[in-house]
Structure 1
């Protein structure tokens, strides 16, 4: 890669004019007309309910303190660097132990590096933690070009670790980040010490779609899997837009904070702790992540990653030669039955708690599992 390989220190500093503009837009929101019978703030059967959305928007406008959240995120050392023409932002939280193992954490959508902020202090006594923002996400903007899909992003991440001086490192991922972690292990097995994934029962919606289903499922297991497929189908509206019409939804996510709030906050309801709480993550943490999408205009650019992945022709790959570990949150017996039918994964732990965003929901459980896994493969 013939380009400037400099690592440039970065500090978050959103202009006050942008903060004021957000509050003004929230204050002048144009709300849908209420639908009779749709007044239960906890009823997400048709999407995010208007009473809950209004409540969350009012808090974002009147009580949420961006500057406090910004200062909290700025406690972590951050950099930008240009790889293959694209600016990448990343956190580099170094351990006081110079011999600590390097650990790369990978987020997905609608996440960001900020979802790991409670996890970082639980790991830095043993790990040098690196958290890149995916191309088009957060401060890894604007997009330099089309074509930023899984394989290209994986190579960029490997290059970032090279620039940081880490020849060997462990990886952890959730959501889309699991695909990046898996591909890093598959194409760079000589560098990846171990691959750790954080998943939840929602992965069952991909069995038979992205992942093959075992041939020997019982009738009851097939019924359970079909029920998960039906639930997953109800969640796929956003995915089809991302996969095929990112420009259309991107315009709404860039111009309307209410649109962005509804688009993302709904997922933090349906993907956390089986939707038992509204939502199962701290409200300020939720709005910090959404604010990052708003201020960086990455509502539009982040969804491009889905289009690129859908049209790249790449399959999901996991490396058999690299030790792997799974932490399953909100566990369901069918997850291992379908994803690891031969019990080949050496490190497999299941937790009744948590959901799709374990670093936000159950950071202590996740940190402990990552530690145990890396200790076992180092």
Structure 2
């Protein structure tokens, strides 16, 4: 399939089904004064679900999201969804931005106009970019592979094809965070000749340092990193263990319960940000949550987590 225009439209029956489910939630109990210590606060999640059910207007948000130029094309058997906005400058540099989990391509929606049209925000038009923001396989409006094995390396190869063979760029920049950081690193590793440079918002968990043998001497900085990473994994890494080992089991609950999906995702939005409890009316957060429900992202993202874990194990031997 060649590159084709894509327009978001969620069927009315899907919206009606979601609203019905949001009206029939069986809430769990919560220990007194536990707040967020044991997971998502019950009062907060009830408020979020109430806003989701009674006030949040998907059709309005859908219209806003469709202001971006969106496309799909088939690469290695996956229908890849992506935003492609051209820069408003004399010689825009192409850049591909890759998101992570539990977010989506919407991670970058606020910076797309800043990159494509810097002059409108006090910048120099010479610094403009052609911005390409693909959805990872199984996320948002990219299709899910029907077989295991799609990992960061394979996605990086898909992105190289997207940028060169499908979109015709000879050279481009790349940036990413979380899963997108891994994809971007593989692009730089395997295709340096295609890249102007890369930008990472994080370097992720460097598993080689965490599993290094005693005979491997680590620097003081590496030892500090190892200590902090292991502490983080012990407190925050439970989701990773579940998604990378038993994604199918998890998917049954999260595919059937919008409140369950919201709890699983909102906890991470709060824990991985520096702003504390965000408003239940945060539209960017709600849009990502809504799209996650429509597409059933948890099954595929869990599969990808499993593949990522396996490729790290293979690289150590």
- State if a TM-score over 0.5 links the two structures: yes
2:209 touches 2:226 (CA, 8 Å); kept in 1? no
How has the CA–CA distance of structure 1 residues 228 and 144 changed in structure 2, closer, same or farther, with 3 Å as cutoff?
closer
> Which position in structure 2 is the counterpart of 1:255?
256
Provide the rounded CA distance (Å) in 1 between the counterparts of 2:279 and 2:260: 21
Q: Helix, strand or coil: the match of 1:267? A: helix
2:175 touches 2:198 (CA, 8 Å); kept in 1? yes
TM-score, normalised relative to structure 1: 0.74
For the pair 1:182 / 2:185, whether they are aligned, the reply is: yes
> Which position in structure 1 is the counterpart of 2:76?
84
Provide the rounded CA distance (Å) in 1 between the counterparts of 2:224 and 2:92: 47
How has the CA–CA distance of structure 1 residues 28 and 156 changed in structure 2, closer, same or farther, with 3 Å as cutoff?
same
Provide the rounded CA distance (Å) in 2 between the counterparts of 1:79 and 1:224: 40
In the TM superposition, what whole-angstrom CA distance separates every residue of 1:227-284 from its partner, at most 9, and x where no partner exists? Answer: 55323311111100111011011121211101110010000110001xx511389711
- Count residues with an aligned counterpart: 302
Q: Which runs of 5 or more residues in structure 2 are unaligned?
A: 118-127
For the pair 1:64 / 2:56, whether they are aligned, the reply is: yes
**Pick from 24, 29, 46: which aligns with 2:38?**
46
Alignment of structure 1 residues 10-29 onto 2, 5 Å: 10-29=6-25
Q: Which runs of 5 or more residues in structure 1 are unaligned?
A: 317-378
1:103 touches 1:130 (CA, 8 Å); kept in 2? yes
Provide the rounded CA distance (Å) in 2 between the counterparts of 1:157 and 1:106: 9
How has the CA–CA distance of structure 1 residues 188 and 249 changed in structure 2, closer, same or farther, with 3 Å as cutoff?
same
> Which position in structure 2 is the counterpart of 1:149?
151
Q: Helix, strand or coil: the match of 2:139? A: coil
For the pair 1:106 / 2:105, whether they are aligned, the reply is: no
How has the CA–CA distance of structure 1 residues 207 and 36 changed in structure 2, closer, same or farther, with 3 Å as cutoff?
farther
Deviation at 1:34, TM superposition (A): 3.4
Deviation at 1:178, TM superposition (A): 0.4
Provide the rounded CA distance (Å) in 1 between the counterparts of 2:85 and 2:288: 19
> Which position in structure 1 is the counterpart of 2:307?
308
Alignment of structure 1 residues 96-135 onto 2, 5 Å: 96-97=88-89, 99-125=91-117, 126-135=128-137
**Pick from 18, 34, 49: which aligns with 2:30?**
34
Deviation at 1:24, TM superposition (A): 1.2
1:11 touches 1:74 (CA, 8 Å); kept in 2? yes
> Which position in structure 1 is the counterpart of 2:121?
none
Provide the rounded CA distance (Å) in 1 between the counterparts of 2:73 and 2:143: 12
